[in-house]
Amino acid sequence: MRGVGKSTFGMKLAQEIGWEFVDLDFLIQEDLQIDSLGEWITDNGIDNFRNLEYVYLQKCLLFNKTIISTGGGIVEHLQAQTLLMAHYPVIWIRTSLENISSNLENKTSHRVPLNIYEAYAKRVPLFEKIYDYQFNYSTLCVETNSENFNLFCYKVLGKKCPLPNDFSNFGCVSSSEDLDVIEKSQYLTAVEIRADFYESIENSYKDLNIVKEKLKGGLSIFTFRGNVDEKYWEILMNAGKYLPDFIDVQFEFGSKWLENFESLRLAFPSIRIILSYHTEIHNQDFESIFNFMCSLSPDIVKFISPCFALPLTVLPHIHFSLGLENLVTRIKNTYFSPVRLGKSTGKGQLSYEELKNFQLSLNIMPEKKCFYLAGNNISRSPAKKLYNRLFSSYGLDYTYEFLETNSLDEVIQTLKSPYCLGMSITIPYKESIIPYLDEISSEAKILGAVNTIIKRNGRLIGTNTDWHGLYYPLKFRRIHKTYNSAAVLGAGGTSKAAIYALSKLKFKITLWNRSKERLMLGNWPCMITQDLDEIKNANVIVSTIPGNAEVLLPWLSNKHIVLESAYFPDETFIGKQANQSGAVLITGKEMYLYMARYQFRIFTGKDISKEIIRNRFPIFKN
């Protein structure tokens, strides 16, 4: 529909991910060299305009990495309908007619007048035929809506939400009226939409998007309790089009259930699965049931039963019982606990304050919850100020502290303390900490280094977000399709992350270093050299050397892209040469921004876009 914000959201999304943006109306107007599209339509007729729209749509769909904003009326053209139905993905942006009317005030000069109520009634059935995903909003705050739309589209592009960590929780909502309570509940990690309590299933779908307006950075869970029949799976598949962060799936044995379960996962690969089992019946083989559920590799297992102990598993899991012992087991569960917001949606459900007070009084929850940066020479890191301001902004009762130490043992003891929820790791502990962890991610294994550790069900889990800071600035940059070679300066720890990121982007890589010994020591999966002239034809130069290291690159030109990993001094030696030569410069602050974004998600379970950090922390504005 006209006035829902397609162009506004589309342009901001294009800036976020580095794609091109095309507004079909303005492209047509520009090509026709006219001042008013409305006048052209009046003179030439709406049918001719619809045909013209269709022709331009055909052209634009051939563009690579392009966000296309069409006019809402394009769905009235039969061939355009067919074209859009064959294209993936198509996002339908929806809001109330009152919001549309407000958005359209003084903004319709380029189009003919429109009765939005008549147009809406006519077009909704057509939109329903075409869309792949639906994004809803209720507020008129453009900044909030744009940020949430960006996060929504990351999931369209296949990015999953972060997994919650220890002492995380989710609030249970049984109707749209409960949503206002969420704004006063910023401590929540997520909100569960209990669709089976809703009077209208359609409203429960829309609320999956609306909760993002109420809970900053919060995650959404779709749950429908009922008979696991064809209608049940249809409801889950429909919910998937609104891209909740999680879908709760009731576990049952049987080939038909397994077929539907795999179909759901295949249809929505960016939605995480909570596989749940609920029973009050004793004398079952709970261990076999639990182990089989784990074998299906869901993201989280939710096991609600009279069973008091579960087998050891690496999977995150929620566990409490439904019998007389229900209250005690709810209190003992420290991972992603369900809490009451309005009406209780489960037997014995506690409010957040009730759960917190019980856990504090029984020494289950620590009185303070801290994250740390552990390493040497860390005083200049922006992490402490950045994370503490983000924690405060998001209503989280966490603190972030520096752990400046030369003792690995001190790092390990701090990490194992009950009040430590996680840790940023820097030099010299990125490699030496690994043997003390319970699990490390595949990226950390490949890189042989960890920079982020969190606790999940009491287990220490390490990962590496350094490569994100190098990968995404290049992935989302408008790079010419012929750019396929890259050079990395330096052979230290960051260079491993750079090579990993560049290899994921399919670049041919050459590593340069002054010292032959460092080059020969590493088992580098790329070409190596000590001659700077051998890398002058590389399209992308990634510097992993100190910011004040005087390495001269006299051949730099406006045809190069330079990515600087050092974030101080403000203008590094390499960065100064890039600016003087006219090369495209991606600063170390930009790299740090992406790294911090993904580390914050891992620490808190809260989703966040880089624009939130950039807008609120001027230090990250280039």
Give 543-610 as a DSSP string: E-S-TT-----TT--TT-EEEE----SSS-HHHHHHHHHT-EEE-HHHHHHHHHHHHHHHHHS----H
Helix (H, G, I), strand (E, B) or coil at 416: helix
- The first and second tokens of residue 14, run together, are 């294009």
- The first and second tokens of residue 523, run together, are 């088992």
Between vectors from CA 575 to CA 572 and to CA 578, what angle results, nearest 5°? 155
Between vectors from CA 97 to CA 95 and to CA 102, what angle results, nearest 5°? 95
**540-543, strands of its sheet edge to edge:** 527-529, 508-512, 485-489, 540-543, 561-564, 584-586
211 — phi, psi (to 5°)?
Answer: -60, -25
Give 290-338 as a DSSP string: HHHHHHT--SEEEEESS-S-----SS-EEEE-SSTTHHHHHHH--BSEE
Which amino acid is present at 577?
A: Q
| Dist. CA 289–CA 469, nearest whole Å | 41
Catalytic-residue membership of 430:
yes
Instruction: Please tell me which residue in 430, 455, 496, 610 is annotated as part of the active site.
Output: 430
Q: Are 265 and 289 in contact (CB under 8 A)?
A: no
Residues whose CB is less than 8 angstroms from the CB of residue 491 and which lie 6 or more positions away in sequence, other chains included: 511, 513, 515, 518, 519, 522, 524
Peptide bond into 164 cis (omega under 30): no
The beta strands (E) that lie in 58-161 are given as: 66-69, 91-94, 133-136
Q: Catalytic positions, please?
A: 430
